[in-house]
Structures are given as structure tokens and as C-alpha cells.
Amino acid sequence: MKEETRFFVDKSLASWDEAGSIHWEVTKQLLEQVSDSKFNALEKDFDTLVSGYDICGKSVVQICCNNAKDLISIKKKGAGRCVGIDGSQAFVDQAKLLAKAAGYPDMEIVCSNIYELPEKHVGQFDFAVITIGVLNWMPDLKRFMSICASLLKPGGYLLMEEIHPVLNMYEEGNPSQIAMSYFNREPQRDDQGLDYFSGKKYQAKENYNFHHTLADVLMAAITCNLSLKNFIELGKNIGNWCGDLEKSEFVPPMAMLASWQKQL
């Protein structure tokens, strides 16, 4: 891993560890909910995408799984072996608690910097999953996508639900407005905290996020032998960012769904 990449990732993971206790005040409410056999925390459109594939008994890995509520939801749909990967020990601990409460005490939750993932996971999965708020934390998008692809068996699928890159141009407000070029590639430093539930600001350890264009995302997938099978753009607020735009007169693309298949 490049030293520059390590710097940004280490800083951001420290910030996420710091935010763990804040998120747990909300997440702990899921402890009872996940025990329900019909528990499903997937966003509606992503749930539809996932349901379009035969995941029953199939192996699934969620990359940057946070508290693993989405992975647990997929397991409830009948998936086989499920593995969650996250770089924050605080959120890995939460994921393990939720998995146990859901009735899956043996669900594998791995704490690892995604850029330094152990080789034993390579080529092990039928499906890899990315859900809201992952790509912007990746300083090296091409390397990240190649790692995602490497986890898949030949013919396996990468399913993604993400904030649309156009939304990176906006600054939250009343109303939210365009404040940045779509092509701004500078690391975005922040120390106002990661409480995206209440939006409350606090003096936090610094973190860095990165703006990737739609072309960046699509080309990164192409270069690692992934073939696009489905792509959908949505004018819906799925990431608690500039949510007012969903009801504005001219709604920008706010979310995107995609599926890729690893070539044989």
C-alpha cells in the first residue's frame, strides 16, 4: 500500500473508531429488531436489486460493512456463508453484537484495512456487496475495486448501492447548493464529526474523503475484469446528505445502484 494511501486511511479509521460510541446510541436499538426472521434494513431499491439474484446458500462478503445490518439482512434472505469486513474495530465489535443477536454468532466479521486484506479471502465469494458511503473513503479507487473483484469467484457478482458522484458537488444548507466542481480531486479534510444520524457536529479526529466521478467508478470496474450488468440512477436521499434536494424542483441524481459480473 502506498504511504499516502496509508496516511489517509489510518486517519479516517481513527475518526470512525472515535465515532463508534455515538453511532451505538442509535445502533443498539437494532439488537431486538435483528432477531426477527423478517428483519430487513436494506434500502428498498437495493433490496429489489439483491432479490433479483439467487443468493440462497451463496457466499457473500460485505466490504466496509460498518455494523453489518445490511449483511445480516442478506443472510436473512437465505444467503450461505456471510463475511463482513471493516477497518474500524469499534464497528466490528458492534457488528458482532448484532450478528449474535440476529442468531448468527458464527458470522465472520473481519477487522482489516481493506487495502491490506489477507490473501485467504481471495476468490472465495459468489457475491460482494458495497452499500452507502464507501467509495468516498477510498483514496485509491482503482486499487479498491481490484480488491473487490479479487474476492469474487469467476462469474461472481459485485452489487453496489452508493451516493451518486454528482451529490459531491453540493454543500448542505437550506437549501443545499452546489459549492464544488464535479472534477475536484483534492482530499476533503473534515474534523466536524461523523454523526450522520443527528447531524450534530463535534470536534473530531480528522478524516479525509475523496470525490470520484462516475467515469472513475465505471472505468475502475472495467479495468479489473468486471462487466456491468445493471445500472440505475435515483433522485432519492439514501445517505443523509443534502436530503432536501429530494423534494426540490430540479432533483439531481442522488443515488446509484449497479451490478457487475466477474468474467470467467
Contact, 127 vs 58, CB < 8 A?
yes
Q: Which superfamily does CATH assign the domain made up of 3-262 to?
A: Vaccinia Virus protein VP39 (3.40.50.150)
What stretches in the chain show pLDDT beneath 70?
198
Rg of the chain in Å (alpha carbons): 18
* pLDDT for 64: 98
**Given this model, what pLDDT does residue 123 score?**
98
| Mean of all residue pLDDT scores within the chain | 95
- Give the pLDDT of residue 181: 98
The pTM score is 0.95
Q: Mention every residue, 6+ apart, whose C-beta is less than 8 A from residue 102.
A: 34, 35, 39, 72, 75, 76
How far is the C-alpha of 203 from the C-alpha of 114, rounded, in Å?
A: 26
Residue 242 near residue 180 (C-beta atoms within 8 A) = no
Q: Please report the pLDDT score of residue 240 as a whole number.
A: 85
Specify the pLDDT at position 25.
87
* The pLDDT value given to residue 51: 98
Among the residues of the chain, which ranges form H helices? 3-27, 30-33, 44-51, 69-76, 89-101, 141-151, 214-222
Question: Which pLDDT tens digit goes with each residue over 32-56?
Answer: 999 999 999 999 999 999 999 999 9
Tens of pLDDT, residues 95-135: 999 999 999 999 999 999 999 999 999 999 999 999 999 99
What is the structure's pLDDT at 225? 95
User: What's the confidence (pLDDT) of residue 30?
Assistant: 94
User: Where along the chain do its domains lie?
Assistant: 3-262
